[in-house]
Amino acid sequence: MSVLFWLLAVASVAAALGMIFSRRAVYSALMLAVVMLSLAVLYAVQDAPFLAFVQVIVYTGAVLMLFLFVLMLVGVDSSDSLVETLRGQRFAATVAALGFVLLLAVGVGNAALGDVAGLAGANAGGNLQAVAGLIFTRYVFAFEVTSALLITAALAAMVLAHRERRHPKLSQKELAKQRFLGPHPTPLPPPGVYARHNAVDMPARLPDGSPAELSVSPVISRREPERREEIEEGEKQ
Amino acid sequence: MTPINLIVLSFVLFTIGAVGVLVRRNAIVMFMCVELMLNAANLAFVTFARMHGNLDGQIAAFFVMVVAAAEVVVGLAIIVSIFRTRRTASVDDANLLKY
Amino acid sequence: MGTGLEWAWLLIALPLVSGAVLLIGGRRTDRWGHLLGVATPLASFAIGVYLFARMLGLPPEERHHDVSLFSWIPVGSFQVDVGLLLDPLAICFVLLITGVGSLIHIYSVGYMADDPDRRRFFGYLNLFVAAMLLLVLADNFLVLYVGWEGVGLASYLLIGFWYYKPSAAVAAKKAFIVNRVGDFGLSVAIMIMFTTFGTVSFGPIFDNVDAAGTGVVTAIGLLLLLGATGKSAQLPLQSWLLDAMEGPTPVSALIHAATMVTAGVYLVVRAGPIFEAAPQAQLAVAIVGAATALFGAIIGCGKDDIKKALAASTMSQIGYMHLAAGLGPAGYAFAIAHLLAHGFFKAGLFLGAGSVMHAMKDEVDMRRYGGLARVMPVTFVTFGFGYLAIVGFPGLSGYFTKDAIIEATFAFGGTAGTLLGAAALLGALLTAFYMSRVMFMTFFGDRRWADGVHPHESPRVMTWPMIALAVGSVAAGAVFTLGGRMVTFLESAVGAPEEHHAFNPFTPIGLATLAAMVLGAVIAWTSFGRRPVPSTAPKGSFVTVAARRDLYGDAVNESVFMRPGQWLTRTLVFFDNRGVDGLVNTLAAFVGGTSGRVRRLQTGFVRSYAMAMFVGAVAVVAALLLVRL
């Protein structure tokens, strides 16, 4: 038991630190998955099998996938710059974090935690049945309100993500016309050709070595070229 | 597996999440850190449930998960719409509301 | 008391209502407005004549009727009722105002025929007449003050009638402001009267005037005199009158003959008991009157503008009236008689001047006139009668009234009487000179007309009022003065003189007056009648230049009041900006500067705010632990 705890504790803290220090958002998401799975195991060993499964299914399965989905949607740039722009932000964050942990530890250390009562009695008829009994009796009002919250959130997401179509949708014929009468009758260069990366936001290289801006989707190419050059230089070193 | 260890683990994870919110600029990563903080709180809830021998803590953790799911949906939608207009996911770039 | 006198309120109400209709009705009343405007003063005149007849039918001691209308300010011990006092003095003014006023209204129908705003003009004229009637009919000082202010307002509106002319607008403002100075004196006098006597009604105040201290009464008298100088354009508040010529000529006639300037004389005569209790104030009235009589006459000698020359002569004649009113009961009747006679001949002169201007395309410079006697016979004859009346030609009205004043002045006795009398005599000489000058320059000599001017006689609607006024100018003096009619009639209202002189022209003073008149006219003839008048004004002597510039009245006002006033206000503004505002602004700048720095905390970076929240959470936890441990 203790071995399991220490294993999971070290793994989750390491993954959490990895998450905040990783330069790539996708890595951060994967680290978060590690933390969540560790916690799911910790729930399971603490007589909370229902929550453990919910953790795996809802959090790791749904929410985290949603994160990854949005990451892909807004474009996976190769990395974030970790250069701090707000003066003193990191120092202050470190000091405040250490103070916070120390204060809480002192508080917990001083609290009389007492013995562990254990959930054997409460889970006598099965954890799922017991939780359901509580949810549908004592917490039924909160549960109903939660349903309203979920519906509202779903509607809000639709409203926020919705975009009005301002131009008529182009037909196949018009698209073809546009393509062949436009400046580029040939296919556009794909990203990554002759490039050092296979990331979609990295432009392809032309034979003379200069970047081909057309190879990057306009949705993704949001960073100014100099900025991208700077990142590439950083990668080289 | 004494409860105090689990509680302290929860504190540490919570603080790491808070630091992440403070130091990361990518809005999506910030969101992940918020989720980490919520998970840390859930761990404390579950541990307290075991300590006290009733299931109220687990119910609280369950509600936290539901609310977190709703929050993620709305938050990510906001991020997407900001990204659509500003072409960036950095929270430092959205700083027009100031003095 | 018989019935009929209660209807006195109609005198005021008729022109007031018609003025309101004309001014509120606007352009809808344009077509018939002037007819209504003429009809109501005529109706008031008819009522006035009726009341006068009723009054003559009563024994003298009953010719004093109070018409109480309504309670105006019933506040504790401060009770003011609006009431009308109908007595011989008031009825004299009513007849003058409505009679001469009606003639001027009729004349205006023709004079203003081409003006698109004729209806508005008649609205103001009616308002003017109503206010003046309220002034002379009031039975207490507060209601009198309302009429007093109404006259000031109406004169402002009329002088500035052609408000699009900057000079007219400035003249109207000047008249209003100078009048305010006088009004200030009157209002302070009313306040002192209320604190001293506890009332503002004429009767109780005049009955108790002996009970008050001499100092208080003198103060009241001098303040009343200040009010009178403002309205009557006496020294030192004379400066507005000459500029007031910017208004249409009928307005000048109305202001100078029937309304406005006579209000000061009315006030002094009405408040006679107060002045009798304060001899110094009374002497001040006489001195102001004599000084203004000379002042106006000198200015009149230098003016080439026909209206300004007549205006200066008004100033001078009103000075005579004040001189007479300052002599006490001995002079009141003469002052009123001269006032009424002056109302006729001055209105006639102004209407004649208006007729000339009408013919000469609004030219006012007498050096551009000349030889109009043949072209405008009716105007010439009526103007001529007015001229003979004002200079005191034997048998005409001015002869009787002015001679009476000069004699009464010499009869006042002492050094003061002699000096004032000499001034009055000199004034008579000057009057003859400048009026003859006007006459010669306008109607005789070469035709110095500008090119394209073809003078013609005015229409009948204008000449008939002039003829009526000329008849009045000829007859009024004899009617009033012979047999002491005026003195007897006014006895019940203003008191009787101690000794009663029958009119006798063959006293030494009477002969001297006659000689002065002849001398003045002869000098004028040798200067302007016998020799050709140059079209442009010669340089002239020091005195002429001074007279042309109103004897530097404006210059004095400017240097004594305007410049120091400007300095004072500039100092106050400076103090206000730097001192009062400075303090407030410093405070505001401090708050603004502080908040300007504090708001820098709002960087717009959401992570900074998150940091603040986190630090706050740490602080809360620390505080909790500190409390619990």
ipTM given for this complex? 0.92
| A176–C contact, CB cutoff 8 A | no
Query: pLDDT grade, residue A1 (50/70/90)?
Result: low
Q: How far apart are the first and last CA of chain B?
A: 51
Contacts of A150 in chain B (CB under 8 A): 66, 69-70
Q: Are C553 and C240 in contact (CB under 8 A)?
A: no
Residue C588 tokens read as 């505001």
- Please give the Cα distance from B30 to B90 (Å, whole number): 10
The residue type found at C547 is: A
Q: How many beta-carbon pairs under 8 angstroms link A with C?
A: 33
pLDDT score of C39 more than 80: yes
Nearest to B98 among C603, C607, C610 (CB): C603
Residue A84 to chain B, least CA–CA distance (Å): 8
Q: Does B91 touch chain C (CB under 8 A)?
A: yes
Closest residue, chain B, to A98 (C-alpha): B15
Percent of chain A with pLDDT over 90: 35
B89 close contact with C: CB closer than 8 A:
no
* Mean per-residue pLDDT, C61-67: 75
Which chain A residue is nearest to residue B47, measuring alpha carbons? Answer: A46
pLDDT beyond 60 at C58 = yes
pLDDT band for C62, please (50, 70, 90 cuts).
confident
pLDDT tier for residue C403 given thresholds of 50, 70 and 90: confident
Which chain C residue shows the shortest CA-CA distance from B91? C606
Q: pLDDT class for A19, splitting at 50, 70, 90? A: very high
Q: Across residues C293-313, what is the average pLDDT? A: 87
Q: What is the reported pLDDT for C278?
A: 87
Task: Name all chains with 3 or more CB-CB pairs below 8 Å to chain C.
Answer: A, B
pLDDT of residue C127: 92
Are B22 and C602 in contact (CB < 8 Å)?
A: no
Which residues, other chains included, contact A45 with Cβ-Cβ below 8 Å and sequence gap of 6+? A1, A4, A5, B1
pLDDT at A230 exceeding the cut of 60? no
Q: Is the pLDDT of residue A227 over 60?
A: no
Selecting from B2, B31, B83 the residue whose C-beta is nearest the C-beta of A74 gives B83
**Section A57-62 average pLDDT:** 89
Task: Map out the domains of chain A with their CATH numbers.
Answer: 2-83+115-161 (1.20.120.1200), 172-236 (no CATH)
* Cis check: omega of the bond before C236, within 30 degrees of 0: yes
Selected residue with higher pLDDT from A129 and C532: A129
Is it the case that residue A44 has pLDDT exceeding 70? yes
* CB-closest option in B6, B19, B28 to A70: B28
pLDDT by residue (tens digit) across C459-516? 888 888 888 888 888 887 777 777 677 777 777 777 666 555 556 667 788 888 888 8
- From B18's Cα to the closest Cα of chain C, the distance in A is 8
Element (H, E) at B51: helix B27-52
Among chain B residues, CA nearest to C612:
B22
What pLDDT is stored for residue C1 in this prediction?
43
Residues of A in contact with C608 (CB under 8 A): 86, 89
Q: What is the structure's pLDDT at A199?
A: 65
Contacts of A93 in chain C (CB under 8 A): 611, 614
pLDDT tens for each residue of A161-207: 887 788 888 899 988 888 888 887 777 777 655 656 666 666 777 77
Q: Closest residue of C to B14, CA-based? A: C614
Beta bridge partners of C83: C68
Q: Residue C68 — very low, low, confident or very high, per pLDDT cuts 50/70/90?
A: confident
Q: How confident is the model at residue B1 (pLDDT cuts 50, 70, 90)?
A: low
pLDDT interval class at C130 (50, 70, 90): very high
Q: For residue C248, what are the CA distances in angstroms to C176, C194, C252, C253?
A: 17, 39, 7, 9
Judge whether B95 is closer than 8 Å to chain C, CB to CB: yes
Please judge whether A99 and C618 are an interchain contact, meaning their C-beta atoms are less than 8 angstroms apart.
yes
Return the higher-pLDDT residue of A86 and A69. A69
The rounded distance, in Å, linking the Cα atoms of C517 and C199 is 47
Say if the Cβ atoms of A93 and C614 lie within 8 Å: yes
Between C173 and C70, the more confident residue is C173
Element spanning A211, H or E = strand A211-212
Asked if pLDDT for residue A229 goes beyond 70, the answer is no
Residue C388 pLDDT > 50: yes
% of chain B with per-residue pLDDT over 70:
99
Q: Flag the least confident range among B32-36, C489-493, C614-618.
A: C489-493
| Contact residues, chain C, for B25 at CB < 8 Å | 607
Across chain C, mean pLDDT equals 85
> Least CB-CB distance to A122: which of B5, B42, B54?
B54
Question: What percent of chain B is predicted at pLDDT more than 90?
Answer: 52
At residue B26, φ and ψ (nearest 5 deg) are: -70, 125
Q: Which residues contact C493 (CB under 8 A, 6 or more apart)?
A: C63, C64, C87, C88, C89, C90
Lowest mean pLDDT: which of C168-172, C231-235, C547-551? C547-551
A104 contacts on C by Cβ (under 8 Å) = 621
Instruction: Please report the pLDDT score of residue C60 as a whole number.
Output: 74
Confidence check: pLDDT of B84 > 90:
no
Whether the predicted pLDDT of A15 surpasses 90: yes
- Within the 23-52 window of chain B, which residues sit less than 8 Å (CB to CB) from chain C? 23, 25
Residue-wise pLDDT for C314-327, tens only, equals: 888 899 899 988 88
Q: How does pLDDT run across A71-98, given as a tens digit for each residue?
A: 887 766 655 667 777 888 889 999 999 9
Residue C616 confidence (pLDDT) above 90 = yes
Mutation to test the B interface, candidates C599, C607, C618, most B Cβ within 10 Å: C607
Helix (H) or strand (E) holding C79: strand C78-86
Contact flag C605-B22 (C-beta cutoff 8 Å): no
- Which residues of C340-431 form beta strands (DSSP E)? none
C619 touches chain A (CB under 8 A): no
Residue C11: CA count within 13 A, CB half-sphere: 37
Search chain A and give the residue with CA nearest C621.
A103
CB C483 within 8 A of CB C400: no
Q: What is the pLDDT of residues C186-234, one digit of tens each?
A: 999 999 988 888 888 888 888 888 888 888 889 999 999 999 998 888 8
Rounded distance, CA C438 to CA C193, Å? 45
pTM of the shown model: 0.64
Q: Which one of C611, C617, C625 has the shortest CB-CB distance to A106?
A: C625
pLDDT tens-digit map of C431-465: 888 888 888 888 887 777 777 777 888 888 888 88
Contacts of A103 in chain C (CB under 8 A): 618, 621-622, 625
